[in-house]
């Protein structure tokens, strides 16, 4: 039985976003929103998984959501105040977890804090708080080369929260990982989600099973079809799977349940039509 919850204010709103590159329509009139999910029993952030075939525009949308690239038309607004997105307002964690190798873990966070305009004392206080939150307190003096892949990812996420208070985009966080490492990433995203009710994570991934395990909603990005079944240029959200209503959100060990495998097959079948 699903824990009680309610949707509150909108935290991320995309309205009418379109993008044309090299004369080709990449995204077309794309609109969606993520709302604050409130649970009476605990902090519950939002985790949305964005799935779609290669070449469908996920990376371009990723850059637009992060404020790195502007769309040709449309808007992206973040936060309860609906501020137009700008570079630095949304944290971005790339596949390789790029860090300054010649700086310590704490040093990497302090650089991010200074770039975000924080005073030295403010940056240090925030960095130390994030190190504790992500179980990195004993590693602040180490260099990235001394860390495991999982630790590097924790540092990369902490680094982004130095700039962005609540918004995080993750690009293929499960790529190239074995099943044990994938479980660790799933656990980490869960920790990020529940550390603050307003924390909102968008995960771009090809791993459908991992997406089901961590997300509360899954969006499929694909193209419309005309009357003859031919794809219409420009990707849009083609399906939204609500894992909360299906009783698959916010619980561990769902991969062995029939409902998990039913949804996995449902998403795979729909994926093939995109």
Q: Tens of pLDDT along 9-57?
A: 999 999 999 999 999 999 999 999 999 999 998 899 999 999 988 889 9
Contacts of 81 (CB under 8 A, 6+ apart): none
Q: What is the mean pLDDT of residues 239-244?
A: 96
What percentage of the chain exceeds 90 in pLDDT? 65
**Rounded Cα gap, residues 265 and 65, in angstroms:** 29
Burial (CB count within 10 angstroms: exposed 0-12, middle 13-18, buried 19+), residue 137: exposed
- For the cut 80, the answer to whether the pLDDT of residue 240 exceeds it is yes
- Tell me, what's the pLDDT at 2? 56
Closest Cα partner for 91 from 111, 71, 62, 119? 62
Domain boundaries, the chain: 6-90+164-271, 99-162
222, 273 contact by CB (below 8 A): yes
The CATH number that domain 6-90+164-271 falls under is 3.40.50.300
Q: Tens of pLDDT along 141-152?
A: 999 999 988 888
Q: Residue 70 — very low, low, confident or very high, per pLDDT cuts 50/70/90?
A: very high
Higher pLDDT, 16 or 158: 16
Where is average pLDDT lowest: 63-67, 169-173, 253-257? 169-173
Closest Cα partner for 154 from 164, 144, 165, 166? 144
């Amino acid at each position: 039985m699903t824990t009680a919850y309610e949707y509150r204010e909108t935290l991320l709103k995309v309205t009418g976003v379109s993008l044309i590159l090299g004369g080709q329509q990449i995204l077309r009139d794309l609109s969606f929103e993520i709302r604050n999910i409130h649970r009476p029993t605990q902090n519950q952030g939002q985790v949305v998984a964005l799935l779609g075939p290669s070449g469908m525009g996920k990376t371009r949308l990723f850059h637009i959501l992060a404020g790195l690239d502007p769309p040709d038309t449309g808007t992206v607004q973040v936060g309860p105040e609906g501020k137009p997105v700008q570079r630095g307002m949304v944290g971005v964690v790339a596949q390789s977890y790029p860090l300054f190798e010649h700086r310590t873990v704490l040093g990497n966070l302090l650089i991010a804090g200074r770039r975000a305009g924080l005073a030295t004392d403010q940056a240090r206080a925030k960095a130390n708080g994030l190190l504790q939150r992500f179980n990195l307190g004993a590693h602040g003096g180490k260099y990235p080369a001394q860390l495991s892949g999982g630790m590097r990812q924790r540092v990369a996420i902490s680094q982004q929260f130095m700039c962005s208070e609540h918004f995080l985009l993750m690009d293929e966080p499960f790529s190239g990982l074995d099943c044990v490492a994938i479980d660790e990433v799933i656990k980490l995203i869960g920790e990020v989600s529940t550390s603050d009710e307003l924390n909102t994570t968008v995960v771009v991934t090809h791993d459908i099973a991992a997406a089901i395990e961590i997300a509360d909603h899954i969006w499929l990005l694909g193209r419309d079809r005309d009357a003859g079944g031919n794809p219409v240029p420009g990707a849009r959200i083609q399906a939204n799977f609500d894992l909360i209503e299906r009783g698959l959100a916010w619980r561990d060990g769902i991969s062995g349940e029939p409902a998990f495998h039913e949804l996995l097959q449902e998403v795979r079948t729909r994926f093939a039509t995109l």
